[in-house]
A and B are shown apart, each in its own frame.
Chain A
Amino acid sequence: MDHTHDKYYIPHGSHWPVVGSCALFMMLGGFAVYLNGAAIGGTVSLIGLALLVVMLAGWFGTVIAESMSDCYNSQVDKSFRMGMMWFIFSEVMFFAAFFGALFYARQLVIPWLGGEGTKFMTNLMLWPGFEALWPSNGPAHAGGEFETMAAAGLPAINTAILLSSSVTITIAHHALKNGNRLLLNLGVLVTVILGFSFIFLQATEYMHAYSELNLKLSTGIYGSTFFVLTGFHGLHVTIGAIFLTVIWFRVLRGHFTPQKHFAFEAAAWYWHFVDVVWLCLYFFVYWL
């Protein structure tokens, strides 16, 4: 493969994408069957998920091997960078949909249901007595009485955790660029530990919400936006933490050099992205 040094590397055929398609077919098809009430779908879905993991390992494994045997010139590296950046942009837009739902519900729907402006008669006829207040589970009090998650407790600790993990990953990045391998190793490790602690605390928080606050996914629009926003964020933190774990093992094997370390930076960017999303969440969902 060394003759490709100056040329843009074009892989010749790969079976991983098709494996990925089969995996998603089983995973989502199975899940759909499960949602329609047939338990077998759940099993198929899990097999699909396992196959997806195999596919990801295989695909990324190939890419890592190619990278280690110097197939990629700086132009390929740049393609990867741009690809990752625009992928993160699309993720931002995914979250934007849910934040949009939160703002719309809070700023418009609830006041309208409460009879604001021209909606006076709507309120009187359909939802008499409903007062526009946030947090709200709607005029039918879907899910019953509930309490909101206080911003000061676990969420504040989680904010501190994510913020400091952003610092540690940046320290690791600088260490990588300066050739300080010990600090790099430690920086990534601490970030991974902080990442998984966040997920653990988030799970604790959910249990607290369900068992003590009566705050559930079905708690009207407040519960819907709260759990779907924090849930998708938590999912992304999990993905980011797994990504960083892989990076940590690659650090141990000495895969990265001060000049060439795209995968490290991709993971770091992703981590900053989940961090920024969290800050928005903390501000708009917990605090305000």
Chain B
Amino acid sequence: MGPEYEATADQYQADDHDHHGAPSGIKRWLFSTNHKDIGTMYLVFSLLMFFVGGTMIMIVRAELFQPGLQFVDPAFFNQMTTMHGLVMVFGAIMPAFVGLANWMIPMMVGAPDMALPRMNNWSFWLLPVGFTFLVATLFMPGGAPAAGWTMYPPLVLQTGDAFPFLVFAVHILGASSIMGAINIIVTIMNMRAPKMTLLKMPLFVWTWFITAFLLLAAMPVFAGAVTMLLFDQYFGTHFFNAAGGGDPVMFQHIFWFFGHPEVYIMILPAFGIVSEIIPTFARKPLFGYNSMVYATASIAVLSFIVWAHHMFTVGMPLAAELFFMFSTMLIAVPTGVKVFNWIATMWRGSMTFETPMLFSLAFVFLFTIGGFSGLMLAITPVDFQYHDTYFVVAHFHYVLVPGSLFGIMAGVYYWLPKWTGHVVDEKLAKTHFWLSAIFVNITFFPQHFLGLAGMPRRIPDYSTQFADFNMMSSLGAFGFGLSQLLFVYIVYRTVKGGEKASSEVWDNPKGLEWTVPSPAPHHTFETAPELR
């Protein structure tokens, strides 16, 4: 089976141009109800946050360049690691995916816009509020939050004036995510063109659909967790205080009940993106479309029963250790199905290696490395040794950087011509790819060895035998960070000008988005496209 569609492009085009274009000035952005404009704002915001979070981690890597303390004091170091995590997760990766969803989902399902356009605007405009709170904490008495992005009590309760701002930032970002998720669910359920049945939807739409349910179920729990922290701090409750009959470990359970689905929120849409791109450049339909959908759904369901694999060392009962070990390993099965399908799609395809494809290929290989290290960590007795070491840092950066981030980059290179009407300079883009792919490995591969040898994470100093690998990792990080400036330049250049892109852009890509002109007009599919 799989998706099969072809819209009548002329029917659509005749309909469009008599309509209003974009309003002008600042109001266009502040008051926007247009999914493309809102998508653009999300993407630009996320790029900005990517550099804010990136700058913070450059400070961390500079400090870790050599053993001993050289540039920053340990308190500030902790603030940087904490803020880096929060900014990257909630400011860079998640908004980038929502931006892509905004731009692409209505076009991919043949809808005139998102289902609830005003709420869509609010979902975006809450982000600047949340991040003003978060970034402002850097300048407050006591400094920014420094207890890690996981905010474990009792440590996090030692945060200074930043504490309530941290909690409220989480509330606001959570509200934004929930509204965004509702919008995506409703758009997909209610706005599809006639004949676009569920199992004809592009995989990017499918993965986002499932992600939106994860968001709906996980974000409110996170809001609840930080609310309990706030009450413990200011209103005398004892949720996480053993003296009053509470338990700090209870916070970890509630946090990771959100936290593990959250990591899948950050990867499922990337699965969708590479599932769009690989068939285009392998010139073959996606292998096992249905199994991709079922695999994504089972990953999502399983992600709610594995959370305590983050807590193997806190002293859970044996039964819990075993349950969470086996349920975690079970997730590797649907994940394996996906990797198999991507490879089978490429098998005997007539492949070409344009930038989106390069990023997707790197995604498949490097994400899989991260999946394997995840499997190692899933083995409880093994995790006793690896927990809270650089091995964990290596694991989640392999799934998040060449995983989620490369997925986003692949998507941007794939659809940028559709957004801007200009072809991307392949030479520059490929340079960006190779620099990123090489530096990401220089940065994170050595961290596996550091972790196996016992270097703890979140500590500004280390013992001298870790010096070489740390220096290597820092050099890789600086290289990676600098390479991303090239990305900004490429995007800027493509927005400003360049060779005109055709509506198909690539060689016979599948999907409704390629039936509208490039750049996509301000309003698309005001009447639903006819599907074959």
Contacts and interface: CB of A to CB of B under 8 A. Distances in A.
Interface of A: 7-8, 10-18, 20-21, 24-25, 28-29, 31-32, 35-36, 59, 75, 78-80, 82-83, 86-87, 89-91, 93-98, 100-101, 104-105, 108-110, 112-113, 117-118, 126-127, 136-140, 142-143, 216-218, 220-225, 227-228
A21 B234 CA distance: 25
A54 B370 CA distance: 49
B189 interface: yes
B132 A25 contact: yes
Contacts of A15: 30-31
B118 A14 contact: yes
A8 B129 CA distance: 31
Given A24-B126, A90-B216, A221-B238, A13 B31 contact: yes
Contacts of B234: 35
A224 B216 CA distance: 26
Contacts of B245: 105, 109-110, 113, 136-139, 142, 220-222
Interface stretch (B161-169, B283-291, B344-352, B461-469): B161-169
Given A94-B223, A113-B242, A104 B247 contact: yes
B31 A14 contact: yes
A76 to B, nearest CB: 8
Contacts of A109: 242, 245-247, 250
B44 interface: no
Contacts of A137: 238, 244-245
A31 to B, nearest CB: 7
A95 to B, nearest CB: 8
B171 interface: yes
Interface string B510-532: 00000000000000001100000
A188 to B, nearest CB: 26
Contacts of B257: 97, 100
Contact of A105 (B31, B231, B246): B246
B224 interface: yes
A20 B216 contact: no
B223 to A, nearest CB: 6
Contacts of B496: none
A14 B125 CA distance: 12
B217 interface: yes
A98 B221 CA distance: 8
Contacts of A32: 133, 164-165, 167-168
B7 interface: no
A11 B228 contact: no
9 contacts: A8-B191, A32-B133, A90-B217, A100-B257, A101-B224, A101-B250, A105-B246, A113-B245, A139-B245
Contacts of B228: 97-98, 101, 224, 228
Most buried by B among A36, A98, A117: A36
A59 B172 contact: no
The 6 closest A-B CB pairs, nearest first, are A97-B224, A138-B245, A218-B236, A221-B245, A17-B122, A140-B243
Given A32-B168, A87-B182, A97-B254, A217 B236 contact: yes
B237 A217 contact: yes
Interface string B236-269: 1111011111110010011001000000000000
Contacts of A110: 245
A217 B231 CA distance: 9
A224 B239 contact: yes
B267 to A, nearest CB: 21
B125 A79 contact: no
A101 to B, nearest CB: 6
Interface string B192-217: 00000000000000000000000011
B113 interface: yes
Most buried by B among A21, A79, A217: A21
A98 B191 CA distance: 35
A86 B219 CA distance: 13
A57 B165 CA distance: 27
A31 B234 CA distance: 12
B182 A78 contact: no
Contacts of B231: 217, 224, 228
Contacts of A227: 237
Contacts of A101: 224, 228, 239, 250, 254
Contact of A82 (B117, B185, B244): B185
A154 to B, nearest CB: 23
A16 B237 CA distance: 36
Given A11-B118, A137-B244, A24 B129 contact: yes
Contacts of B121: 14, 17-18
A216 B234 CA distance: 14
Contacts of B31: 13-15, 17-18
Given A13-B33, A16-B118, A32-B164, A224 B133 contact: no
A127 B527 CA distance: 70
Contact of B189 (A7, A82, A126, A217): A82
A105 B181 CA distance: 31
A28 B171 contact: yes
Most buried by B among A31, A87, A112, A221: A221
Interface in B121-171: 121-122, 125-126, 128-129, 132-133, 161, 164-165, 167-168, 171
Most buried by B among A31, A32, A79, A82: A32
A29 B168 CA distance: 8
Interface string B217-237: 111110111011001001111
Contacts of B185: 82, 86
A139 B20 contact: no
Contacts of A224: 228, 231, 237-239, 244, 246
Given A94-B220, A224-B244, A224-B246, A79 B190 contact: yes
Most buried by B among A17, A24, A82, A221: A17
Contact of B115 (A83, A95, A216, A225): A83
A54 to B, nearest CB: 15
Nearest to B527: A7
A10 B224 contact: no
Interface string B300-342: 0000000000000000010000000000000000000000000
A91 B175 CA distance: 11
B236 A75 contact: no
B32 interface: yes
